Chain A
């Protein structure tokens, strides 16, 4: 079975804070990490390979330094890695990004399942996974919390909904986006760490892909950011004081009034 995982390198949001004086982002020392949801996609791919055999390939689009996210994926057990990096890709929105990734996936060739994280922690759009499946015209199953079984030409998934979950059967190939509940990612093994260090990463630029120039980057992106600003700070809070009875009385009144 051939499994493709799409990941994104994101800033570690634990460290993204707002400077209260200037009201701007403090980024000093902000590390780059694999998007948290994508770590579950990587783990699920490795588990599928362990169970059914085959090959796992991780792919990302981003600046050259995104290579470190790919090496980390290899250390977690992924077999091969592809980096899509080109100035021509800069400024891509979700339409252009999913187009570029779908073209790269076509170049990789045959696959049975594509696994993406539910959404990225910086953009939070959850649009790239479904976008890739729409470009490739394959079925999509979003918010997957469990893969029940995979047979020769179909798979059965549990898809999380607001009320519970649905059991969905889909033919292969298909694309799934996964939520945290699907697994607990492992730590890198020493052997894979060594392999990841030395591995060759496949690097593709614009000319390596069969793509139209006006469909990638800022030019291929229908949506444009026209303004970025920091949200208004929350009003200063108030600690209710007094005896327990008094504070709870005050709080009950506050809740009742807002309600």
Chain B
């Protein structure tokens, strides 16, 4: 493979210099010049060039080893915890339905667990045509190895064209391993999925560089096309109890498939509020401006009133005011709720990359120059110790009406 500047076409406009995330292009004799030591062949410059002056050649391999036509259908991993289907599964079924319809194919959900057969119906009500169930005591709790072994066998047996999983702690661990075992491509943490109308392949769009750029990725010659998908981005379908579908109970696995070298000795639940950050529709988050651990009670009260989860900036976590599991940002969690309420958070870039894709951002801060106001849809400049209790009170009154 190779990349080159077609000198006759290059006009020296420098657009590609700005587009290159790696600083691998400079101007030499008024034309673009690629510094090969830095170039990663990502193709960002090719897309940016208005004059078609950059050529990225990908070596075309001889006929692919696999017959792409054999692979049919869209599959969704039916992640469950303690027998409860996770909300992201319904979101994926919503999106999966749309993709399957565009491809004129079936949507299936694969459900691994223990005593979970009775959950299959609700997956059909939410859009699945088929549900494949593997029910075993050994699958009661998620473990990387048995889950990987079983999924690999099912994928080899049924050959789905597309395989989607939530970008959850489980999904990201599991599918990364599965993709390597079946030697296919995997795109992490997608926020957009579509079908290329001509090639009929999956267009997987995801944020990179902390959401500063978006990349659309394809898996051309390997199947299935696998992607993990961020929570809260795709729309679930309303429950339709009239929908019909088929449930397949899968068996015939070998004993070894269920073996795990790692063992769970204990499970400790410690999230104080009942809402988990990644699944939350609303997040109330506190930063340095909270001034101390005792003041997080204000946020908890507000959160309780509106059914929100409590988040925090790195500054608050590092000060020991709230556990790390609440941290949003580059070294914490990436979230995209409907509403993100940032209280006393100045808006350092490391925090923004973890929450800037939230639909509505509300900022409450004393400093009118705080960078958080640059990305907020609504802002209040003022004392959060006055504002938050008042807001909680008004919301309580409002919601009770």
Given the contacts A170-B262, A226-B218, A124 and B207 also touching, CB distance less than 8 Å: yes
1/0 per residue A162-193: CB within 8 Å of B?
A: 11111111110010000111000000000000
Q: Name which residue of chain A comes closest to B334, CB basis.
A: A124
Nearest CB of chain B from residue A12's CB, rounded to whole Å? 10
- Interface residues in A212-259 (C-beta closer than 8 Å to B): 214, 217-219, 221-231, 234-235, 237-240, 244-245, 247-249, 251-256, 258-259
Q: Name which residue of chain A comes closest to B362, CB basis.
A: A251
Nearest CB of chain B from residue A193's CB, rounded to whole Å? 24
Q: How many residues of B contact A (CB 8 A)?
A: 117
Indicate whether B264 reaches chain A with its CB closer than 8 angstroms.
Answer: yes
Indicate whether A123 reaches chain B with its CB closer than 8 angstroms.
Answer: yes
Q: Which B residues are in CB contact (< 8 Å) with A143?
A: 169, 173
Q: Choose among A94, A252, A258 the residue with the greatest number of B CB atoms under 10 Å from its CB.
A: A252
Given the contacts A98-B180, A142-B172, A231 and B211 also touching, CB distance less than 8 Å: yes
Indicate whether A25 reaches chain B with its CB closer than 8 angstroms.
Answer: yes
Complex formed: what's the CA distance from A161 to B379 in Å? 33
Nearest CB of chain A from residue B143's CB, rounded to whole Å? 9
Q: Which B residues are in CB contact (< 8 Å) with A131?
A: 176-177, 179-180
Q: Would you call B376 and A237 a contact (CB within 8 A)? A: yes
Complex formed: what's the CA distance from A90 to B2 in Å? 10
Complex formed: what's the CA distance from A214 to B220 in Å? 15
Q: Name which residue of chain B comes closest to A245, CB basis.
A: B390
Q: Would you call A168 and B61 a contact (CB within 8 A)? A: no
1/0 per residue B35-50: CB within 8 Å of A?
A: 0111111111001100
Q: Which B residues are in CB contact (< 8 Å) with A226?
A: 43, 203, 216-218
CB within 8 A of B19: which of A24, A139, A251? Answer: A24
Nearest CB of chain B from residue A68's CB, rounded to whole Å? 13
Q: Which B residues are in CB contact (< 8 Å) with A160?
A: 169, 325
Q: Which A residues are in CB contact (< 8 Å) with B216?
A: 225-229
Given the contacts A238-B379, A239-B380, A225 and B217 also touching, CB distance less than 8 Å: yes
Complex formed: what's the CA distance from A217 to B48 in Å? 23
Q: Name which residue of chain B comes closest to A10, CB basis.
A: B209
Q: Would you call B214 and A231 a contact (CB within 8 A)? A: yes
Q: Would you call B377 and A162 a contact (CB within 8 A)? A: no
Q: Would you call B58 and A218 a contact (CB within 8 A)? A: yes
Q: Would you call B212 and A230 a contact (CB within 8 A)? A: yes
Given the contacts A127-B176, A168-B264, A87 and B36 also touching, CB distance less than 8 Å: yes
Given the contacts A13-B350, A227-B216, A254 and B185 also touching, CB distance less than 8 Å: no
Indicate whether A122 reaches chain B with its CB closer than 8 angstroms.
Answer: yes
Q: Which A residues are in CB contact (< 8 Å) with B195?
A: none
Complex formed: what's the CA distance from A87 to B37 in Å? 8
- Interface residues in B244-291 (C-beta closer than 8 Å to A): 261-271, 276-279, 281-282
Nearest CB of chain B from residue A139's CB, rounded to whole Å? 4
CB within 8 A of B173: which of A87, A142, A248? Answer: A142
Q: Which A residues are in CB contact (< 8 Å) with B211?
A: 231
Q: Which A residues are in CB contact (< 8 Å) with B265?
A: 156, 167-169
* Chain A residues touching B, range: 35 or more
Q: Would you call A124 and B61 a contact (CB within 8 A)? A: no
Q: Would you call B306 and A259 a contact (CB within 8 A)? A: yes
Q: Would you call A251 and B391 a contact (CB within 8 A)? A: yes
Nearest CB of chain B from residue A248's CB, rounded to whole Å? 5
Q: Would you call A229 and B270 a contact (CB within 8 A)? A: no
A-B contact count (CB 8 A): 317
Indicate whether B122 reaches chain A with its CB closer than 8 angstroms.
Answer: no
Q: Would you call A234 and B356 a contact (CB within 8 A)? A: yes
Q: Would you call B398 and A127 a contact (CB within 8 A)? A: no
Q: Name which residue of chain B comes closest to A161, CB basis.
A: B169
Given the contacts A230-B214, A231-B214, A234-B377, A139 and B395 also touching, CB distance less than 8 Å: no
1/0 per residue A103-141: CB within 8 Å of B?
A: 000000000000000000111111101110111000111
Q: Would you call A126 and B47 a contact (CB within 8 A)? A: no
Given the contacts A165-B270, A231-B211, A139 and B380 also touching, CB distance less than 8 Å: no
Indicate whether A64 reaches chain B with its CB closer than 8 angstroms.
Answer: yes
Q: Choose among B211, B213, B278, B353 the residue with the greatest number of A CB atoms under 10 Å from its CB.
A: B213
Complex formed: what's the CA distance from A139 to B173 in Å? 11
Q: Would you call B212 and A18 a contact (CB within 8 A)? A: yes
Indicate whether A93 reaches chain B with its CB closer than 8 angstroms.
Answer: yes
Q: Which A residues are in CB contact (< 8 Å) with B81?
A: 163
Q: Which B residues are in CB contact (< 8 Å) with A122?
A: 21, 208-210
Q: Would you call B23 and A30 a contact (CB within 8 A)? A: yes
CB within 8 A of A27: which of B21, B39, B261, B359? Answer: B21
Q: Name which residue of chain B comes closest to A15, CB basis.
A: B349
Complex formed: what's the CA distance from A161 to B359 in Å? 25
Given the contacts A126-B188, A222-B221, A134 and B339 also touching, CB distance less than 8 Å: no
- Interface residues in B136-183 (C-beta closer than 8 Å to A): 144-145, 148, 168-169, 172-173, 176-177, 179-181, 183
A-B residue pairs in contact (CB < 8 Å), sample of 10: A25-B209, A135-B180, A139-B262, A140-B144, A161-B267, A219-B58, A222-B183, A222-B184, A229-B214, A244-B382
State the 7 A-B residue pairs at the shortest beta-carbon distance, nearest first.
Answer: A222-B185, A91-B41, A130-B176, A134-B180, A125-B188, A223-B185, A24-B18
Q: Which residues of B contact A (CB under 8 A)?
A: 1, 15, 18-23, 36-44, 47-48, 58-59, 61, 81, 144-145, 148, 168-169, 172-173, 176-177, 179-181, 183-189, 203-204, 207-222, 261-271, 276-279, 281-282, 306, 324-325, 327, 330-332, 334, 338-339, 341, 348-350, 353, 356-357, 359-362, 368, 373-382, 386-387, 390-391, 394-395, 398-399
Given contacts A164-B325, A166-B267, A248-B380, 6 further A-B contacts (CB under 8 A): A95-B183, A131-B179, A237-B361, A239-B381, A251-B391, A258-B338
